[in-house]
Amino acid sequence: MLVCLCWISAPIVAQEAYQLGTLPSVNMNSKLKNDWSVNLKVETRQIYQRGYFSGESLREFNYQLSDFTFTGAKKVGFYGRVGVGYLFRIREGEIVHRVNQQYNYTKQYNWTRLSHRVLTDQTFFANEAPDFRLRYRISSQTPLNGQSLEQKEWYAKVNNEYVNNWQNANYNLEIRLIPMLGYTITTQNKVEFGIDYRLNSVMTEAINHRFWLALNWYLEI
């Protein structure tokens, strides 16, 4: 997280671009027998403004993509979970396929829940070379009322992720910082909202800042 904060506080150079948009999603989870679980996530992305910090900007609504992700996972040990997933993406008439493999480790520390995730994914395009990524995410969730999260209570959640990307001989690093505020409607139903900030092309001169208004709905079925 320190690296991410240093990048955010650095002076903005002339050619740094930005995007502003929304990123709503719905997560449906279901627990199965023998410590298995399945998740279906539907997410869309819309852009409302883009441009350069020191130059022109364009305000225009632009639907970017829709993602449909199915993930199956199994609990291993006391705190771990391994999973595999498949993503189906619709982007400007193009169909994109992605598979992923992940390991999650989640543990409760007093009133804060801390999670680590290591994920690899492979994306396949119709007219481009495959894209390979290695991702690490650390996240914390803390109730704002007392030491445990109950129904009809608020909580704070922060995700910090580092996404390493390889396509052909090109390497790129993206850093994500996502502070969220959540509310538990019931034990099976909660909502979150916040800012999904992504610093893209960190290893190049064409740095891109993306700010998404994230709206998440989690439902246990």
Domains, the chain, ordered by start: 2-10+18-220 (2.40.160)
Query: Is residue 6 exposed (0-12), middle (13-18) or buried (19+ Cβ within 10 Å)?
Result: exposed
Distance (Å) of CA 140 to CA 1, 39, 211 = 12, 20, 21
Distance (Å) of CA 214 to CA 33, 179, 180, 189, 195 = 32, 10, 8, 17, 6
pLDDT by position in tens, the chain (length 221): 544 444 444 444 447 899 999 999 999 999 999 999 999 999 999 999 999 998 889 999 999 999 999 999 999 999 999 999 999 999 988 999 999 999 999 999 989 999 999 999 999 998 899 999 999 999 999 999 988 888 999 999 999 999 999 999 899 999 999 999 999 999 899 999 999 999 998 777 678 999 999 999 999 99
CB contact at 8 A, 81 and 71: no
CB contact at 8 A, 176 and 202: no
Q: Which two tokens stand for residue 137?
A: 């995410």
Residues 6+ apart with CB under 8 A from 217: 25, 26, 27, 190, 191, 192
pTM for the model: 0.90
- Give the number of other CB atoms < 10 A from CB of residue 194: 19
Residues 6+ apart with CB under 8 A from 212: 21, 22, 23, 45, 195, 196, 197, 198
The CA-CA-CA angle for residues 113, 115, 120, to 5°, reads: 165
